Structure 1
Amino acid sequence: MGKHGKKQSHRHNRQGRTASYYLEKPDEEIQEYPLGPQTSSAQEPTLSESDKESQEEETQEKETNFDKNPSINNDLLSKFSLYQQSVQSPKGDISYLQKFFLMYVGGRLPLHLQEDFCGTALLSVEWLHSDARRSAVGLDLDAEALNWCMDNNMNKIGADVHSRISLFHGNVLQPLECRLVNLDPREIIKNIKIDDEGESKTSSLNSTSQGSPKAVCRTKLMKDAKLPARDIVCAFNYSCCCLHSRKELVLYFKHALNALTTKGGIFVMDLYGGSSSECELRMQRRFPNFTYTWEQAEFDIIQRKTRISLHFNLHKQHKKIRHAFSYSWRLWSLPEIKESLEEAGFRSVHFWIRNMPDSEEIRCMDGFPVGRDLKYEEVKSFQQQDSWNAYIVGVA
């Protein structure tokens, strides 16, 4: 998620990705992990009182809870499609991943990627396109996101690319027990139809259940799968904030380290911070067909926990998707991440940070933020700012 949304602006979201910042579902549906995508996440400008009032007036439009209205759960209007459009920028992330690998490992090109908290696996799919030798492994706990990926990302990339990606459903804290959900290439062929003009078209596979991924291989666990050792493992979209205890964080980092090749590899995650990250915030970004809102409701300074919600307002359809994504996050500090990575066994840890626009200076934003092309720089120290985004690189 580089990131065009998230890291492009911690308030702006990146994936380039860094912050749409924090995503969440309604209280009763809070997930253990975020999408991973993402991307990244951009934070949005704070709404003025007049903006809020006009928004309230507009909201005589019918508010729609996405999860309870299947009529808007289609390809272009699905919450996952909106998330990918507004939060993620996989090409930017991949550019930095390659840079970090060559800088800290070198000697060869990185070919094998593992995307933890992968969500719709947009980053993994993009990774495969640039080199026919590349492979990708995606892992996520959200069955609905994986199903959407199968229908809308993987089923459009062709059998040649499809054969190089494996998706797994399960908990990143128990990766070897996760179950393969990758479709066999023959399934793609079965879904190719010839239209009246003789052109082939791939139809998506219908899913009637969101409880478990379709085509899941019930007996195929990650520990039984023949996968190449990974050159890079990544966890973007602030996904590590879903791990609320140091014990869980260190355990996850150990699993990431074990997945890396003994020839040398890297683990890369993203994180946001700054003085504005520890207070209530509401940021908004407008796109041609929808408006994306990131909302941080509160921040507990003792537990360092916050609740994040992501909302979408569909302009043409006059519908609001409230709490499209919601999460309970533990906002980790950079020293805590570094110490946990070292405890897990990484031999060195590096910080790449970029300063983000002050939240008080941003009133409204169209598309992705100005200054999105600012580069991340490696730092040994960094003075506190209103808002910042960081890539953290653990070297095996």
Structure 2
Amino acid sequence: MAKLSLENKYKLYEASVQNHECDIDFINKEYRRIFGKLPMSLREDFGGTAAMACDWVKQSDNHIAWGVDLDSEPISYGIDNHYSKLNDAQKERMKYIEGNVLDNRDFKSDIVVAFNFSYFIFKERKTLLEYFKKVREGLNDEGAFFVDLFGGTDACQELVEESDHDSHTYFWDCESFNPITSEVLYYIHFEQDGHKYERVFTYDWRMWGLKELQDIMIDAGFSKVVTYWEGEDGDGGGDGNFYPSDKEENCESWVTYLCAIK
């Protein structure tokens, strides 16, 4: 079986599933809509390479960020490929934390994000509730917690979704789904230059429903949870524009955001 280099592994991942510019624009817009000002500080939980946190501090001399992750491997890649490209002042305002998102922190931030469905790793409600409580404790008084999530009729089907990119093909593979426990096993594969790289990333998760997450966030002490939905592009796909909503039609596949307000 072909094996990717460490550098190419994360390079392909970021090119396939992340768009920090759009995420940051969305967070800024919604935070300003809620609080009437821009957020200055961000904590990126399950941050991996913390590419988003590195991009965050580029916005101004007053922006600060932290990237939190348990795994030293993506942190090492992030330091070499993202942090190293910051200027000295930006480096002072961006910190990597190799640690557990359930640990206590000695700082607070305007924003906490848990993107790429990373919190799905918590399979028990009590653990997810504990995490959401920790997030709330780590927010400033005017603070907001953003997560993304996915669903739809295809979300729990055992199938492989394939998408082509400029230099590679990305595969999102649902290997199994247990309808009794909502546990799901996903893989990411890549194909590049005629080589197929199998199971580059593995995700042993619980699929959480949107309403479940709203309820747990409220139980964690958040005052309000805003649900967003993506507009349509006219050809059956999403247009990248998300708006607050409380009623929508289900579809085969959707990806959206929740914002929990402290």
The verdict on a shared fold, with TM-score over 0.5 as the criterion, is yes
**Alpha-carbon shift at residue 87 of structure 1 (Å):** 1.1
- Say if 1:355 and 1:389, in contact at 8 Å, map to a contact too: no
Task: Indicate the RMSD between aligned Cα atoms, in angstroms.
Answer: 1.8
1:1-396 → structure 2 map (5 Å cutoff): 63-66=1-4, 72-73=5-6, 75=7, 78-106=8-36, 108-174=37-103, 176=104, 222-223=105-106, 227=107, 229-262=108-141, 264-315=142-193, 318-354=194-230, 371=237, 373-396=239-262
Q: Alpha-carbon deviation of 1:354?
A: 2.0
Determine which structure has greater relative contact order: mean sequence separation of CA pairs < 8 Å that are 6+ residues apart, divided by chain length.
Answer: 1
Identity %: 31
**Deviation of the 1:284 alpha carbon:** 1.0
Q: 4+ runs of 1 displaced by more than 4 Å?
A: none
CA offsets, 1:166-189, max 9 Å, x none?
111111122x2xxxxxxxxxxxxx
Deviation track 1:29-75 (CA, whole Å, cap 9, x = no partner) reads xxxxxxxxxxxxxxxxxxxxxxxxxxxxxxxxxx3134xxxxx33x4
For residues 101 and 84 of structure 1, what CA distance do their matches in structure 2 show? Answer: 25
**Distance apart, 1:372 and its partner CA:** 5.3
- Deviation of residue 319 (structure 1)? 2.9
Q: Is the 8 A contact 1:65 1:323 kept in 2?
A: no
Secondary structure of 1:233's match? strand
Between Structure 1 and Structure 2, the one with more strand by share is 2
Return the offset for 1:105: 2.0
Aligned to 1:204: none
Secondary structure of the residue aligned to 2:120 is helix
TM-score (norm 1): 0.63
Could you tell me how far apart the structure 2 residues matched to 1:327 and 1:374 are? 25
- Matched AA of 2:188: L
Matches of 2:250 and 2:169 in 1, distance apart?
A: 30
Question: Which amino acid in structure 2 is aligned with residue 341 of structure 1?
Answer: M
Could you say what secondary structure the match of 1:383 adopts? coil
CA distance in 1, matches of 2:251, 2:31: 28
The equivalent residue for 1:69 is: none
**Partners in 1 of 2:22 and 2:240 — Cα distance?**
12
Checking the alignment, whether the CA contact within 8 Å between 2:231 and 2:239 is kept in structure 1 is no
Q: Distance in 2 between matches of 1:393 and 1:335?
A: 13
Structure with max Cα Rg: 1
User: CA shift at 1:355, angstroms?
Assistant: 6.4
Residue 47 of structure 2 aligns with an amino acid whose one-letter code is C
The letter for the 1-side match of 2:22 is: G
Q: How many residue pairs are counted as aligned between the two chains? A: 261
- Asked if the contact 2:156–2:174 (Cα under 8 Å) also holds between the matched residues in 1, the reply is no
Alignment deviations for residues 73-126 of structure 1 (CA, whole Å, 9 cap, x no partner) = 3x4xx21111111111001001111112112222x3210001101011111111
Q: Give the TM-score, by structure 2 length.
A: 0.94
Q: Distance in 1 between matches of 2:249 and 2:39?
A: 33
Q: Which runs of 5+ in 1 are unaligned?
A: 1-62, 67-71, 177-221, 362-369
- 1:243–1:257 distance in 2 versus 1, CA, 3 Å: same
